[in-house]
Amino acid sequence: MTATLEVADLTIVRDADEARIVDGLSFALGPGEVLGVVGESGSGKSTVALGLLAFARPGARIAGGRVVIDGVDLLALRGGELRDARRRLAAYVAQDPATALNPALALRTQLLESLDGPPAENLDRIRRVLRTVGLPADDAFLRRKPRQLSGGQQQRIAIAMAVVARPRVIVLDEPTTGLDVSTQAKVLALVKQLCADEGIAAIYVSHDLAVVADVADRVIVMYGGELVELVPTDALLGAPRHPYSRALLAAVPSARERQVLHPIRGRAPGVGERDAGCVFRARCDFATDACLERPPLEAEPGGRLVRCVRADEVQRLTRITRVADRPERPGLVCRPAVLEAEGIDAHYGERQVLFNVSLELEPGRCLAVVGESGSGKSTLSRCLIGLHEQYEGRLRLDGEELPLTARARPAAARRELQYVFQNPFGSLNPRRTVGSSIAAALRLFGSDGRRTGAVVAEALERVEISARLAERYPAELSGGQRQRVAIARALACEPKVLLCDEVTSALDVSVQASVIELLRGLIDEGLAMLFVTHDLAIVRSIADSVVVLSEGHVVERGETAAVLDRPSHPYTQGLLADTLELPALAG
Amino acid sequence: MSAPPRTEAVAASREPSARGAGLRRLWAAPRVRWGVLLLAATTAFAFLGGLLAPFDPSQPVGAPYAPPSPGIWLGTDQLGRDVLSRVLHGGAYLAWMAPTSAVLAVAIGAAVGLAAAYWRGWVDTLLMRAMDVVLAFPGILLTLLFVAVFGPLPWLLVTLVVVALVPGVARVIRGAALPVIGREYVQWAKAVGMPSATILRTELLPNVSSPLFVELGVRLMWAVGILASMSFIGYGIQPPAADWGLMVSENRTGLGIQPLAVLAPVVMIVVYTVSGNLIAEGAARVIARTEGRAE
């Protein structure tokens, strides 16, 4: 096999201090092959994606190495030659199609941009590609602007733009992260088919192991800017040989089985925080003194590369999650519901987004609200907390009538209902210390001023954050830590009900696992929880019962096991079928 | 469904500047520091300069438009008064009126902008349309009208400058506050029932402090400009008082014979303006950098 893409010793550094963001990455890729690159935030995977196009973000610089596509070393080219080589040889699909497409230009103009043959031929080519990606190819469609398309259609246009000029290599950076599972399934199938048909070598960058497992032939696992394992996909799933790969797999929830998730302790090293030893050493269960020296990348049979001195011992261990299934909580019929919602109808302006939704939250149980984007699931949680204004229905808290908007509610009710937001980067005031954010909530509910410090410390301890961090500002914390602080702020108010809106969707899987375990612990202590999510695997691992929303209607509800094992509504069945799952593992 | 956090690695790598976030980071910028020092120096010069003046600023010391000579270092003006003494005395008005108007304008403008952004709806419409009306009304006409009726009283001049500056500030601060209001921590504050006044003070105001600082610098510049022009057209500080703007106006006919009588006050006005400019520009750069990095 002659390599289409050959990367040798690619090194990208931070301008300010020459710290390595990507450290000596090498691999080769044949035509039609899809290579997955997985890693968590800060692993350098997006920097690699851009580096393959000989591009570095402002503040970073490609310090060395080769990126050879079809015999042309992109890194050796400059200016016009580089631009020309990029146009002919490589293409890039960004994470967010809405920002990748020019909103002011018609699709036709954007698709034609990279072609330089005769116009009639070009138009032909465009139509063929559009049909391949499953979009209409008529003139009316070509005259449309990007904003007239859905997110999934936009991403397909972005992919069409990438392949239309017949590149040799296509780099896809998290192209399905913002999409619903059903759309994601279609895009993944499309990528696989296009690469096989047109002989394009593809690099598929993602944080989602299940996605990579579905689309890639081989996988690079990155950690702290290094390649720690390069392995055929099946072998990675069956027998990970690097401790990080193994830990990553153990942190992924499954939609099929209810499991206790295993977070990875500690946090990933930032750029410039790495020492001479193994980069994963600080968080590794297998670390020994031998790891104080940076392990070499060992070549193994089957074209496999592993950077670990104890790979054999890692592989011998079975996957731990198999034994630790989480028991389902039986419905506690004797306990009355804490929060009841009846006949919720919600509007956004003229448009009705929720239709007669009712639900009950019981203490010590978690109810998941599942649906795709636009299903109204976030609106539902905003209604319950009283932030959404345009809705009718009846709410009861502990059997007493609850006013619909937060403003009209008595202080006790506002204290007992707490909310945790999706985005950990926006949920804390950047100009307040962590402790002050929590104390602000306490002051509102007239807590004893002298006790505030103790209550704050206690709340932080409950979410496993050191009380010393109370003096820190949010910018000094990682995403996972911020989400924990947001949960601590809610807990400090001693709520009866916690409403969680997609609280883990912005987090890495290993961090997600720790937040899920934390929340599950709180539920077991007697908290009633509403957990809004689009991810069925998370539903399986945390929820006791589930409500499925589609376009504002409840289409199915019941105990988690019953709904996920035997979905009765076609919408739920489709959702389950499209949810990617790591193939069952030997163990 | 949002993207995985790309900024996390950066955020986690311990930013030393996060503490005391806004103002401290601004002070770290050399431009801001120079601007503030220059502003302090000019202000001190304007208030204390009069004590160093060799002559009475309103008494003639020689022939009109006399060139510099020993003892009369900058020559004399159109009435034979010492230019140096008049420059040393002439900043006092500007030095209290300009900052006072700038601070008042930014305070009022910020209050209006925050209120409009926070309550939206009819409050927003009412406040911002009112601002548009003020903005549409030619400031010079307003000045002519009020000064003609009440005379050139200092507090009236300050008020007029404030009225002229508030709409711009309100617009900028409203724009800066809108995205902050969408942030989850403000939503949370509403959900737990934090009083609106507290939300505005503790959640919103600190998070628009950077643009607020830029505004202060820009509006100071504007205030100096407007006040100097008012003096120049004769609607500001009245003769025989010494005032930089007024001096430019009085001595412009003698520009050919005794240029120092005009240049000296012009230089002072320029230095004063540049200090505001440095602060604004430096602050704007810091903000651009910060926003480029965070969220």
pLDDT of residue B13: 35
Q: Which domain holds residue B83?
A: 45-294
Q: What average pLDDT values come out for chain A (587 residues) when binned by 10 residues?
A: 86 88 91 92 88 89 92 90 90 85 90 85 90 87 88 88 90 86 86 88 91 92 92 87 89 84 81 83 87 88 87 72 53 74 91 93 93 88 92 93 92 93 89 91 80 89 87 85 92 93 86 90 92 92 93 93 92 90 59
Interface ipTM: 0.80
| Cis geometry, peptide bond prior to residue A240 (ω within 30 degrees of 0) | no
For residue A332, the model assigns a pLDDT of 52
Alpha helices in B53-183 (DSSP H): 83-89, 92-119, 121-136, 139-150, 154-182
pLDDT at residue number A235:
87
Question: A347 forms bridges with which residues in the sheet?
Answer: A352
A388 close contact with B: CB closer than 8 A: no
Is the residue at B4 inside a domain? Answer: no
pLDDT, residue A345, reads 95
Looking up tokens 């944080």 gives A207
Give the helix/strand (H/E) hosting A468: none
Residue B292 has pLDDT above 70, yes or no: no
Q: Is residue B213 part of a domain?
A: yes
Cα torsion through A457, A458, A460, A466, rounded to 10: 60
| B78 touching A (Cβ < 8 Å) | no
Identify the bridge partners of residue A172 per DSSP, sorted by sequence position.
A93, A204
Question: Is residue B86 helix, strand or coil?
Answer: helix
By C-alpha distance, the chain B residue nearest A443 is B194
Contact (CB<8Å) A534/B1: yes
Query: What's the pLDDT tens digit per position in B196-230?
Result: 999 999 999 988 888 888 898 889 989 988 888 88
**Cα separation, A402 vs A405, whole angstroms:** 9
Q: What are phi and psi of A161, to 5 degrees?
A: -60, -35
Residue B237, in any domain of the structure:
yes
Cβ contact B187–A421 (<8 Å): yes
B98 is a domain residue: yes
Residue B8 in domain: no
Give the chain A residue nearest B9 (alpha carbons).
A42
DSSP state of B11: H
- Within 407-426 of A, beta carbons closer than 8 Å to B belong to 407, 409, 411, 414-415, 418-419, 421-426
Q: pLDDT-based confidence at B295, cuts 50/70/90?
A: very low
In a domain, B21, yes or no: no
Q: Is the pLDDT of residue B3 over 70?
A: no
Give the best residue of B1, B212, B291 to mutate against chain A (max A CB count within 10 A). Answer: B1
Using a CB–CB cutoff of 8 Å, tell me whether B241 touches chain A.
no
pLDDT tens-digit readout, B59-84: 889 889 988 888 888 999 989 999 99
Q: B interface mutation test: which of A184, A429, A433 has the most B CBs within 10 A?
A: A429
Report whether pLDDT(B9) > 60.
Answer: no
Q: How many domains does chain B have?
A: 1
From chain A residues 468-507, the ones with a CB under 8 A of any chain B CB are 472-479, 489, 493, 502, 505-507
pLDDT tens digit sequence for B109-132: 999 999 999 998 999 999 999 999
The answer, for B190 touching chain A at a CB cutoff of 8 Å, is yes
| pTM for this entry | 0.83
From the list A177, A476, A489, the residue facing B18 with the nearest CB is: A476
Q: Tell me whether residue B31 is in a domain.
A: no
Using alpha carbons, select from B295, B267, B277 the residue that is nearest to residue B39.
B277
Interface of A with B in 157-216 (CB under 8 A): 174, 177-180, 207
Which is more confidently placed, A274 or B274? B274
Cα–Cα distances (Å) from A135 to A107, A128, A167, A440, in that order, read 12, 10, 20, 52
**Ramachandran quadrant class, A40 (left: phi over 0; alpha: psi -120 to 50; beta: rest):** beta
3-state DSSP helix/strand/coil % of chain B, to nearest 5: 75, 0, 25
What is the reported pLDDT for B162? 94
pLDDT band at B293 (very low <50, low <70, confident <90, very high): very low
Residue at A114: amino acid letter: S
Q: Which CATH number is B116's domain given?
A: 1.10.3720.10
Mean pLDDT calculated for residue range B100-110: 95
Instruction: Give the CA-trace dihedral at B120, B125, B126, B132, to 10 degrees.
Output: 130
